[in-house]
Amino acid sequence: MRSRRYIWWWVLPSAILFLGIILIPFITALTYSFRSLSFTTSTATGQYIGVENYRRLVFDQDFYNSFKVTFLYMVPAIILQGLLGLGMALLIAGAVRRARILIPIMLLPTLLTPVVIGLIGVLTLNPDFGVIGQFLNRLGLVQGAVLGNSDTALLAIIAVDTYQWTPFVAVILTAGLLALPKEPYEAAQVDGANRIQTFFRVTMPLLWQYFVVAILIRVIDAFRIFDIIWVMTRGGPGTATEAVAVYAYRHTFRYWDLGYGSALIMVIFVFISILVEYLYKALQKWQTA
Amino acid sequence: MANNLNITSAARKQASAHSRRLLTWISYLLTGLLVVIFLFPWLWVFSLGFKTRAEIMSPNIVWIWTPTLNNFIEVLFVKGYWRLIINSLIVAVSAVTLCIVIGVPTAYAFSRFPIPGKESWFYMILTFRMAPAVVLALPLYVIFARIKLLGTYGAPILAHCTFTLPFVIWLMRSFFDDIPKEIDAAAMTDGYSRAEAFFYAVLPLVKSGIVAVALFSIIFSWNEFLYGLILTSDATRPVASQIPSLIRPHGTLWGEVCALATTASLPVAILIFALQRQLVRGLSFGAVKG
Amino acid sequence: MAKISVQHVSKTYKGGEVQALKDVSFECEDGKFFCLLGPAGAGKTTTIKLIAGIEAIDKGQIFMDEQDITDLLPKDRDVAVAFETYALYPQRTVRENLAFPLRAPMRKGGMSEQQIQQRVVEIAKLLGIEELLERLPRQLSGGQRQRVALGRALVRKPKAYLLDEPIAHLDAKLRHRMRGELRRIQLELGITTIYTTPDQLEALSLADYMAVLNNGVIEQVGTPAEIYNHPINLFVARFVGDPPMNTLQAKLDGSDLVLFGLAKLPVSAELKTRLANALAGDGVVVGVRPKDLDIVTPDSSEALFKGEVKNVQVLGETSIITVVINAHELRAKLNTQMAPGRGERVGLKFTLDDCHFFDAHTEQRLF
């Protein structure tokens, strides 16, 4: 068809921008990861050193620590958000049907500036004048600053993350609940199933795909968490809350170790792309359904 | 006998209707409680912006006080941080406008044309959308430094396109997919070229979708922290990227920080309410029609 | 005004998995009304889309007059399409929907605003939707939407109208009226029209020429009379005509044709030779239209079959009776006053002149 030639005009501007700000920078980082490149080390002059950066990464305890921290934060946070989100969705679905305004209200924590969320964490947990920090100290659960203690700092991050993202999971599941077809319920009623049976046999299977998408987005987000940690602890105390994105930031923009930092970036990227593949399939299945 | 059965079943039905109504009220009550729980930390932090330093630092939390606007006046006008809000606005609006203008036709092309490797492109777009900012921040810093873009508005604007453009293309495609292809076909047989059909027949149908995508993108851009921090100078830095630097180990002016945070949150809160109907769709990448 | 000629056109979907059209060829003379008749999924809509240029052709060519339009953009073909799915612009009023084709940038300056409005009102009156001009499509019923879709096609005077089941969703009475209106408009304007329908009666009553489409293949092209009187194969024979043609398995026994192994019909030597080839194979299928069956008393010597009336369907002046003979059913269309009652035993007769002969294996007409 003659019109096929014109297809390119529709995508060309986007393609150029995509190339300029995403693909070329990405490939630049990829080449850096094979070079000795640093703004702070005088011996690093940009020469090609093969997989040396990646070799160094394999023996880097702090690198493993950053993954450990990420998982230590991610697993409980997502379990918590999944369960609380489900409970919340079941609770509010009825009310949401009547008052759609509840959705934006619930989503305020999710969509308002993460840096401000971090600020809320810092302030509410302040041992001297924070609403929650004071309370915890009075109960004797925590001695001194929550964020200054390696044992409790990560718990605080999990708590703030849960505060931020539970509404997100809940709202997605609420949308799922409101979109559920009526027929299976009528069928279940005819079959004489009770409420609990109906929930596990009818609601959960129908809701499952919504759950998968919400959880996958959260898992990927866990590898992105940066702003909140930066505001609350800057990765500390020590490396107790140094998740992967924070760790990569330390090597790039504080140590200016471009070669090693790029190798880190590539590893994170590979992780993300594997996770995104699952997300992509989940989204696609959904859109064609 | 049969009559008896009917009576009991009717009674049971009535009883279950009663208990159901009670359950509904309990769920409304709990919903209200949840709303309070989620709003409370916000309101508390925002309240600090209206307190004096002594009131903030008081070991006994002050619940009743005379609000003061001093923190706002000090941080926004005396220290001149209103510039940061303007910076955020410039960066967000420019990036989103650019991405809408070039991304919407691309999304349409992805929805309608047999583009080779379509699905692979989409997978790639999603991957870069989901990658942490730190992945591209470093190479962008180096490249922008080389072409002398660092410290200008251009740097954060282009950097914000790295997540705005994929988002626009991804979500707009789902809006275009909802419009039957016959609409384009009808316009084209009515004497319109492909571009004219897009402009006159299809675009008016996705107007609200474009607005939603734009507002969403503005929120994300407004909230962005890392690019705004490292690719800008003090003169061009957006507000979100500046707030953490105001928090110091000692002597932080909490009242002013909270006043600035409140000011910075206000436009986003307004946008969230404006977006009401499209929130779910935007958050789930278009998978849930909302 | 133009002659449209479709030549050896093939189209597949889903990367070749689904064959929508297979080597389709037909011609529609200038100014004629051409019907594409076929069941759902036969490829009617695909044919319309290919002629309009909405979808690309895999193989073959389409000509308008002598010009090859196969690769032309839809807007340069100057055809108007009424879509089966309506494809109305949801945010525009009926008035603006109707005016939309006249406002195309390529026709800028062709008509003044006043002329456009005049034409819109004219076409709305013709279709009986002038009361609805300020409404939005979602405020209309299905039948009203379909009339707007038709109006949007008719508002221009293009080289050809392509109407895809344009009155299928109207109620019966309105459909009947619109059928007449359409034919009148077409005759008046003399614009070449290609019209699809699954309704054989509609095709027979409207068309100058028609084609029967089945599974992406053209079964037969001709005038309505040719197709009704000389169906080229069993598919066309059964699809055209209502109620469908009765088909009877036949074998030769001496000089008699044995139908269903029950009735004997003596045949001439000449007919025997003409049927010989087919009879040597899987046999012959004899087709008789219900209107050509007559009832007689069961003990009449004329009766070919004797059976019991299973059902009587009164259509008005005529009735359709279903007669069961052993395991077989035959249908006859009779004057209602002559029709027997249910459960009555009757005899059925017909003559050789009314018979259509088909090869039982190839299902093709024998002569």
Residue of B191, B200, B201 lying closest to C106 (CB–CB): B191
Q: How many CB pairs under 8 A join B and C?
A: 72
Q: Which of A2, A22, A173 to mutate to test the interface with B (most CBs of B within 10 A)?
A: A22
For residue B275, the chain A residues in CB contact (below 8 A) are 104
Q: Which CATH superfamily is domain A62-288 in?
A: MetI-like (1.10.3720.10)
Q: Say yes or no: B138 and B187 in one domain.
A: yes
Whether B289 has a pLDDT exceeding 60, the answer reads no
Cβ <8 Å between B268 and A123: no
**What pLDDT, on the 0 to 100 scale, is given for residue B286?**
66
Q: Say yes or no: B24 and B115 in one domain.
A: no
* Tens-digit pLDDT profile for residues C58-107: 999 999 998 999 989 898 999 999 998 899 999 999 999 999 999 998 88
Please check whether residue A270 touches B, CB under 8 A: no
Whether B140 has a pLDDT exceeding 80, the answer reads yes
Cβ <8 Å between B132 and A261: no
**What pLDDT, on the 0 to 100 scale, is given for residue B157?**
97
Q: With respect to residue C233, please indicate whether it lies within any of the assigned structural domains.
A: yes
Q: Do the beta carbons of residue C123 and residue C133 sit within 8 Å?
A: no
For residue A1, the chain C residues in CB contact (below 8 A) are 56, 71
**What pLDDT, on the 0 to 100 scale, is given for residue B9?**
57
Last residue of a domain, one of C212, C239, C266: C239
Domain regions of chain A by residue span: 62-288
Residues of C near A (Cβ–Cβ under 8 Å) read: 56, 71-73
Whether A82 has a pLDDT exceeding 90, the answer reads yes
Residue of C nearest to B183 (CA): C87
CATH for B262: 1.10.3720.10
Number of domains in chain C: 2
Whether B152 has a pLDDT exceeding 90, the answer reads yes
Number of domains in chain B: 2
**What pLDDT, on the 0 to 100 scale, is given for residue B2?**
45
Confidence of residue B248 (pLDDT cuts 50, 70, 90): confident
Cβ <8 Å between B132 and A105: no
Instruction: Give dist(CA A155, CA A150) in Å, integer.
Output: 9
Q: Say yes or no: B86 and B44 in one domain.
A: no
Domain that holds residue C125: 4-239
Residue of C nearest to A1 (CA): C71
**What pLDDT, on the 0 to 100 scale, is given for residue B10?**
59
Question: Of all helices (H) and strands (E), which one includes residue B226?
Answer: helix B226-230
Domain that holds residue B23: 2-48
Q: Residue range B272-279: average pLDDT?
A: 83
Confidence of residue A1 (pLDDT cuts 50, 70, 90): very low
* Tens-digit pLDDT profile for residues A28-45: 999 999 988 887 776 667
Closest CA to A85 of A181, A213, A223, A220: A213
Least confident residue range of A184-193, B199-208, C22-31, C80-89: A184-193
**What pLDDT, on the 0 to 100 scale, is given for residue A16?**
96
Closest CA to B137 of B153, B170, B121, B160: B160
* Tens-digit pLDDT profile for residues B209-226: 899 899 999 999 999 999
Angle CA A199–A203–A209, to nearest 5: 140
Q: Give the residues of chain C that fall short of pLDDT 70.
A: 1
Q: Which of C55, C59, C61, C73 to mutate to test the interface with A (most CBs of A within 10 A)?
A: C73
**What pLDDT, on the 0 to 100 scale, is given for residue C108?**
83
Confidence of residue B5 (pLDDT cuts 50, 70, 90): very low
Instruction: Give dist(CA A221, CA B220) in Å, integer.
Output: 14
Q: What is the number of other CB atoms lying within 10 angstroms of the CB of residue C274?
A: 15
**What pLDDT, on the 0 to 100 scale, is given for residue A133?**
85
Least confident residue range of B41-50, B51-60, C120-129: B51-60
Cβ <8 Å between B196 and C81: no
Q: Residue range A97-104: average pLDDT?
A: 83
Q: With respect to residue C140, please indicate whether it lies within any of the assigned structural domains.
A: yes
**What pLDDT, on the 0 to 100 scale, is given for residue A217?**
87
Please check whether residue A33 touches B, CB under 8 A: no
Q: What is the number of other CB atoms lying within 10 angstroms of the CB of residue A196?
A: 8
Touching A: which chains, 3+ CB pairs < 8 A? B, C
Joined tokens for residue A96: 């949401």
Q: Say yes or no: C130 and C250 in one domain.
A: no
**Angular region, C248: left φ>0, alpha ψ -120 to 50, beta rest:** beta
Q: Does A145 or C45 have the greater pLDDT score?
A: C45
For residue A265, the chain B residues in CB contact (below 8 A) are 134-135, 138
Cβ <8 Å between A115 and B165: no
Q: Say yes or no: B85 and B44 in one domain.
A: no
**What pLDDT, on the 0 to 100 scale, is given for residue A189?**
79
**What amino acid is encoded at C121 in this protein?**
V
Q: Say yes or no: C215 and C173 in one domain.
A: yes
For residue C72, the chain A residues in CB contact (below 8 A) are 2
Last residue of a domain, one of C201, C224, C239: C239
Q: How far is CA B272 from CA A104, B173, B189, C73, C328, in A?
A: 6, 22, 40, 43, 71
**Angular region, C122: left φ>0, alpha ψ -120 to 50, beta rest:** alpha
Whether B204 has a pLDDT exceeding 90, the answer reads yes
Cβ <8 Å between A1 and C56: yes
Q: Does B30 or A160 have the greater pLDDT score?
A: A160
Least confident residue range of B3-17, B85-99, B224-238: B3-17
**B69: closest CA of chain A, how far (Å):** 20
Q: Say yes or no: C265 and C340 in one domain.
A: yes
Please check whether residue A51 touches B, CB under 8 A: no
